Amino acid sequence: MSRVRLLVGTKKGAFILESDGKREKWDVSGPHFAGWEIYHMKGSPADPNRIYCSQTSGWFGQVIQRSSDGGKTWEAPGGGVTKDAQGFPHGESNKFVYDTSPETGKPLTTHQHYDGTPRPWEFKRVWHLEPSPKDPDTVYAGVEDAALFRSTDGGTTWQELAGLRGHGTGPQWQPGAGGMCLHTILLDPSNDKRMYIAISAAGAFRTDDGGKNWKPINRGLKSQYIPDPNAEVGHCVHHIAMHPTRPGVLFMQKHWDVMRTDNAGDSWQEVSGNLPTDFGFVIDVHAHDPETIYVVPIKSDSEHYPMDGKLRVYRSRKGGNDWEALTNGLPQANCYVNVLRDAMSVDSLDKCGVYFGTTGGQVYGTADAGDHWAPIVRDLPAVLSVEAQTLS
């Protein structure tokens, strides 16, 4: 019987949850890397035992961890955690090789402050890891400040795909409220050369040549907080989702608005429809029905909690516009948690499971595509990311 593994990254460590195909009882392992922020963990589609993990700390630095046995043991292939003279742990930077100025050898200045003055690029943390669907040793990393890296040796060394940050719009990129992060990486399973990324707050971009050249794909997005609401870049995209059988159809949760494109991002149209609010962070697609999508609306950009204190997932079976509230098993009073951009995922069992984590430390799951929900675990640290793996 197939099993499901959930990789849960939190503010204070990583947790691994496993269940059989019934998804009724769950074994919980963790915390791994206790006390560290785990922005993201993701398993390799090419090897179910290979997992990559972003371990970071504002005090102690950034480490990429790798497991080859499903999370039982871990290693930092490019440099691990050491201790300073006072005995405090510090992370080694896993040999991230970034693009530099040929004149100075220092990181390129590609961004600007809000007042328009240049701001040097700074490596702060890894927000998102995206393993290749074909090679367990190839993995992409989206980082803050916004840049894209690739490793082909299992995370030992990382080389920047400098065409993105060197794009002509780079100096116009500015940070969103959570920083200038590259948080979404989508690999087209039918085209090795095509990839989508999203940056807060620059927008969405696409490459059709493996990362050498990039095209902003933000036509149709409107953002009231930038001087030109139809600008090529500057839109605060929160997350993008794609069904692997339709890689040219994308769904986006923006700072405001839920959007859809049917032409690989060349143009977008709004599909917020009858949602009570179109602000949110997360969006995902049913494993077997590419027209069924899920969002978790949040009250506003200043009040990051559900409307009226009622935690509701909204599902559209028509690719947007027509939405239904899913409430069975979710708290419908006095609930003031948030669901962050990487904190929802789906499994690929016959009855699609959907999972999400909250800033209150709960992880909820459904084994019937959203009709009935139940808490899998409570009282974890604030959940930053949830990724589901379906294991044979």
Percent of the residues in the chain that have a pLDDT greater than 70, as a whole number: 89
Sheet holding 13-20: strands in order across? 27-32, 13-20, 3-10, 383-391
Residues 6+ apart with CB under 8 A from 256: 223, 224, 278, 279, 301
| pLDDT greater than 70 at residue 13 | yes
| pLDDT greater than 50 at residue 103 | no
pLDDT in tens, 70-82: 999 999 887 655 5
pLDDT at res. 109: 52
CA distance 70 to 6: 11
Q: Is 246 left (phi over 0), alpha (psi -120 to 50) or beta?
A: beta
Lowest mean pLDDT among 143-157, 309-323, 338-352, 366-380: 143-157
> What mean pLDDT is predicted for residues 123-129?
92
Confidence of residue 132 (pLDDT cuts 50, 70, 90): very high
pLDDT at res. 229: 67
CA distance 104 to 194: 33
Lowest mean pLDDT among 86-90, 146-150, 199-203, 218-222: 86-90
| Highest averaged pLDDT of the listed ranges 121-135, 152-166, 259-273 | 259-273
| pLDDT greater than 80 at residue 226 | no
> What mean pLDDT is predicted for residues 201-213?
95
Structure tokens at 154: 């299992």
What mean pLDDT value characterizes the chain?
Answer: 90
> What mean pLDDT is predicted for residues 250-272?
97
pLDDT at res. 265: 97
Structure tokens at 135: 């090679």
> What mean pLDDT is predicted for residues 272-295?
97
CA distance 50 to 160: 22
> What mean pLDDT is predicted for residues 194-207?
95
CA dihedral sign, ordered 158, 87, 41, 206? negative
pLDDT at res. 99: 54
Structure tokens at 388: 């589901």
Confidence of residue 92 (pLDDT cuts 50, 70, 90): low
**Exposed/middle/buried for 231, CB within 10 Å: 0-12, 13-18, 19+?**
middle
- What per-residue string of b and e applies to 96-105 under the rule 16 or more CB within 10 Å gives b? bebbeeeeee
Does the domain made of 37-336 have the CATH classification 3.40.50.620?
A: no
pLDDT at res. 256: 94
> What mean pLDDT is predicted for residues 207-222?
94
Q: Which carries the bigger pLDDT value, residue 135 or residue 57?
A: 135
Peptide bond before residue 145 is cis, with ω within 30 degrees of 0: yes
Instruction: Provide the residue ranges of all domains of the chain, joining segments of one domain with +.
Output: 37-336
pLDDT at res. 102: 47
pLDDT in tens, 285-306: 999 999 999 999 999 999 999 9
pLDDT at res. 172: 81
Residues 6+ apart with CB under 8 A from 86: none
> What mean pLDDT is predicted for residues 385-389?
98
Confidence of residue 21 (pLDDT cuts 50, 70, 90): very high
pLDDT at res. 364: 98
> What mean pLDDT is predicted for residues 38-44?
97
pLDDT at res. 60: 77
Percent of the residues in the chain that have a pLDDT greater than 90, as a whole number: 74
> What mean pLDDT is predicted for residues 162-167?
85
- Is residue 296 within 8 A of residue 313, CB to CB? The reply is yes
Residues 6+ apart with CB under 8 A from 243: 249, 285, 286, 290
| pLDDT greater than 60 at residue 85 | no
| pLDDT greater than 60 at residue 215 | yes
